[in-house]
Amino acid sequence: MIEFIAQNMAPIMFFSLIIFLLVGYPVAFSLAANGLLFFVIGVELAPLSNGSINLSWPLLYALPDRFYGGVMANETLLAIPFFTFMGIVLERSGMAEDLLDTIGQLFGPIRGGLAYAVIFVGALLAATTGVVAASVIAMGLISLPIMLRYGYDRRLASGVIAASGTLAQIIPPSLVLIVLADQLGRSVGDMYKGALIPGLILTGLYMLYILLMSIIRPKSMPALPLEARTLGSGVTSLIIALIAAGAIAYGAHVWLSPTHGDNADILGATVGTIVIYIIAIADRALNVNMMSRLAQQVIIVLIPPLALIFLVLGTIFLGIATPTEGGAMGAVGALLMAAVKGRLSLDVIRQALASTTRLSSFVMFILIGARVFSLTFYGVNGHVWVEHLLTSLPGGEVGFLIAVNILVFLLAFFLDFFELAFIIVPLLAPAATALGIDLIWFGVLLGVNMQTSFMHPPFGFALFYLRSVATRVPYLDRITGKHIAPVTTGQIYWGAVPFVIIQVIMVALVIMFPQMVMHYKGVVVDPGTIEITVPEMPGLGLPGVPSLDGAPPAGGAPAPGGNDLSKPPSFGNETPAQPAPPSNDLTKPPSFN
Amino acid sequence: MAGLLALSRAIDRFNEIIGKAVGWLILLSILISAGNAIIRKVLNTSSNAWLEAQWYLFGAAFLLAAAYTLKQNEHIRIDIIYGMFSRRTQHWIDLLGHVFFLMPFVILMISYFTPYFLLSYRSGEVSTNAGGLIIWPAKALLLAGFILLGIQGISEIIKKIAIMRGDMDDPTPFISAHEAAELEAKALVEELKQ
């Protein structure tokens, strides 16, 4: 019995972890406690384990170094507080509200226009903040009442809002991608590059769904009536303004390229953007009204977020800043934006810092707990067990990906992405590597999959955020005077279902077309200037921690070695090698003494 | 019990002050990081000390705030089954968790980090990066974080027993993650209406 336990420590440890976690004590300390308990058991049972347990007391002394070097001195994870702070400040700046109002007016006149506006703004917010709650709540407050007022189908309206809010999870800069990059031992910049195209394609799929529905069931999403277009028409004016901006940008490019070389592209675009922004503001302030009101408003509202996106993603992709620095600059940019709008106060900063500190603290302590767990889990050859389990799945690479995605999809019902990323992902990564799967591709795939966990009923958080802002009681609409029925929870749940299906389709697409992620390799960057602060952090592995009792290191995987010895054919392989020495003899001059 | 509760209140207050104050270090870290990036681009100079200062500050924030996060009951749990238990069972889970999960881990870490820090302090260990910072303050932060977490653990155990005996009200009644999400949404809505 004891021997059975000793030789099956890895599965026993893993299943006790599940129980430890389900009991409901905080995840961080349950992980640590599980790791320590099984460390003690492991050391005691090591002699009975036939060498499958490589644990001894001195190994525990590796913990301080793992916390210091792997958790605290981790410059990748530094991006987490930066982007979190940026997101919270932006949420308070009212940017989302302005965008929804204006873009709603711009797209409103076409059928399904409000839905497109929600998706477009969702993607735009995703590229700046990465906070699901903020996007969903802003849309639920601003767009949902308008959609209900003009007779949008309730399921469709709530589904599109919940789903668009979750785009923040997959479109860079998202926290999920940072954590996944760290755990997979890849650079955040590559992960962002890899996720960008799938994120945009997913946004396109949402829009495609709206387009299809507007053809199949046109009544489910009417165009805004004339009296609802408060900014008036004036799309022509907007198009002319955009063409003018493009012309200015091109002119600046031509003018600057002799002196600034490659930078002229960006500088030209910057000049064009700034000029049209200043013209729009001056046009409105001086009441010249050269442009239509719609054009003014769209330009004034859209350019600051676009500038912020450039400040963060642009500098990261161009290799000017590391993702961590991009986050810091975005945070400063968000502070400036909130200040310009008169929404910045000491209290806002204090609250944003409090939320950021709280999130950082629990996330980093989950990582600390996970380090304790992994120290023991690797010591009992848990990684070998998991790898063997996963690589022996039928279907090779595709079979593995499908199985893992189903597993993550199911786990995401009750684990949030931090827990998945810190506990499950490090176990999957070695198996993925063994199968020759690119880890960025794997990470993006998991990212799209985990995004689903925000919207599948009944646990998805986006649905809860929407539920809490959607009306529960009937009310009289103050503009049309119509009677508006409450939005039921059932409508919110059913509304999310088509988008969950789209999500599954997207996972399949990423599996079938890896090139939409793989392009990240194509961009050659100068490592001398950029990679300074992006160390390749090992995941939860055990490098550099030799087991101190003289046993082979934990990563040494004794199992394959044992297999080789047990195979008779290995002698057969040696025999052909035998004839070699005699041939050497022939080349030598004979030395018969 | 009254004496213990007074001790618990003192610990809570102490960790609350620290937990709220360290948030500002994150803002400082953000400013250093953004400033460093701009200076590197414009003046083409950079120093490892500025890079290291960022994670020093962030480390200080998350390590020293862990105790306050524990007090606020904000370390995330998986509440899918926990939420179904009676409040009394939840109290038992918390109490046993504090005693058998949290405290042994924290005490072990304090006992490891003390020599770990002292060794670094006595040898005056300096970062191996050119122009890097001295290292012992970072290691001292790890030790301090676990010490704060340990004393907060003591306070939590005292409070839990007092609550279960009926000596005090529950300061952090259970709310599920989804209820927390709804509360967060309500707070946001209030704010936007202003």
In angstroms, the CA A253 to CA A258 distance is 9
Which of B72, B78, B100 shows the shortest C-beta gap to A24?
A: B78
Minimum Cα–Cα distance from B177: chain A residue = A461
**CA distance to partner chain B, nearest, from residue A317 (Å):** 14
| SS3 state of residue A567 | coil
CA nearest neighbour of A357 among B10, B29, B80, B124: B29
Chain B, residues 98-137, CB within 8 A of chain A, namely: 100-102, 104-105, 108-109, 112-113, 116
| Interface probe, candidates A358, A459, A463, A469, chain B, greatest B C-beta count within 10 A | A358
Q: What is the ipTM of this complex?
A: 0.94
What is the CA A225 to chain-centroid distance, rounded? 38
Q: How far is B28 from chain A (nearest CA, A)?
A: 10
More confident residue, A588 or A450: A450
State whether A133 and B181 contact (CB < 8 Å). Answer: yes
Query: A130-161: per-residue pLDDT in tens?
Result: 678 778 888 888 889 889 988 899 999 999 99
- Residues 6 or more apart from A501 whose CB is under 8 A from it? none
Identify the pLDDT of residue A274.
Answer: 85
Distance from CA of A362 to the nearest CA of B (A): 5
Closest CA to A416 of A494, A465, A363, A457: A363
Asked whether residue A571 carries a pLDDT value surpassing 60, the answer given is no
pLDDT of A553 higher than 70: no
How many beta-carbon pairs under 8 angstroms link A with B?
Answer: 221
DSSP state of A550: S
Q: Give the per-residue pLDDT at A318.
A: 84
Confidence category of residue A555, pLDDT binned at 50, 70, 90: very low
Contact by Cβ (8 Å): A121, A100: yes
Task: Say yes or no to pLDDT of A573 above 70.
Answer: no
**Quick one: tokens of B128?**
């191996």
Name the least confident of A101-110, A551-560, B55-64, B86-95: A551-560
What sections of A513-537 are H helices per DSSP? 515-518, 527-530
Q: What is the pLDDT of residue A75?
A: 86
pLDDT (mean) for B142-170: 94
At residue B65, does pLDDT exceed 50? Answer: yes
Count of all residues that appear for chain B in the document: 194
Concatenate the DSSP letters of all residues of A248-280 into one string.
Answer: HHHHHHHHHHHHHGGGHHHHHHHHHHHHHHHHH
Instruction: Write the pLDDT tens digit of every residue in B91-119.
Output: 999 999 999 999 999 999 999 999 999 99
pLDDT at A524 exceeding the cut of 60: no
Contacts of A362 in chain B (CB under 8 A): 69, 74-76
Q: How confident is the model at residue A558 (pLDDT cuts 50, 70, 90)?
A: very low
Q: Is the pLDDT of residue B33 over 90?
A: yes
B194 — pLDDT class (breaks 50, 70, 90): low
**pLDDT reported for residue A46:** 85
Confidence check: pLDDT of A569 > 60: no
Q: Which among A353, A461, A533 has the least Cβ separation from residue B51?
A: A533
Q: With contact defined as beta carbons under 8 Å apart, do A152 and A115 qualify?
A: yes
What percent of chain A is predicted at pLDDT more than 70?
87
CA of residue A310 relative to chain centroid, distance? 18
pLDDT score of A115: 94
Average pLDDT, chain A: 83
Identity of the amino acid at A174: S
Task: Name the residue of chain B whose CA is nearest to A58's CA.
Answer: B112
Of A27, A97, A357, the CB nearest to B61: A357
CB contact (8 A) between residue A32 and residue B101: yes
Please work out, in degrees rounded to the nearest 5, the angle formed at the alpha carbon of residue A484 by the alpha carbons of A483 and A488: 145
Which of B66, B108, B142 is nearest residue A36 as measured by Cβ atoms?
B108
Structure tokens at A529: 């200037």
Of B38, B55, B72, which is closest to A78 when you measure between CB atoms? B55
Give the C-alpha separation, A43 to A53, whole Å. 8
> Distance between CA atoms of A264 and A268, rounded to whole angstroms?
6
Residue A172 has pLDDT above 60, yes or no: yes
| Beta-carbon separation of B58 and A134 below 8 A | no
Q: Is there a contact between B93 and A24 if contact means CB atoms under 8 Å apart? A: yes
pLDDT at A580 over 70: no
In this prediction, residue A82 carries a pLDDT of 94
> Tens digit of pLDDT for each residue in A442-481?
999 999 999 888 888 877 888 888 888 888 888 888 778 8
**In this predicted structure, what is the pLDDT of residue B193?**
66
* Residue B160 in this model has a pLDDT that exceeds 90: yes
Is the pLDDT score of A220 beyond 70?
Answer: yes
What is the rounded average pLDDT of the residues B25-48? 88
B55/chain A closest Cα distance in angstroms: 6
The size of chain A, in residues, is 593
Backbone angles phi, psi at A383, to 5 degrees: -65, -35
- The answer to whether the beta carbons of residues A454 and A498 sit under 8 Å apart is no
Q: How far is residue A328's CA from residue B35's CA, in Å, rounded to a whole number?
A: 9
- E strand or H helix at A3: helix A2-7
> Residue A447's pLDDT is what?
92
Shortest CA gap B171–chain A (Å): 17
Residue of chain A whose Cα is closest to the Cα of B64: A361
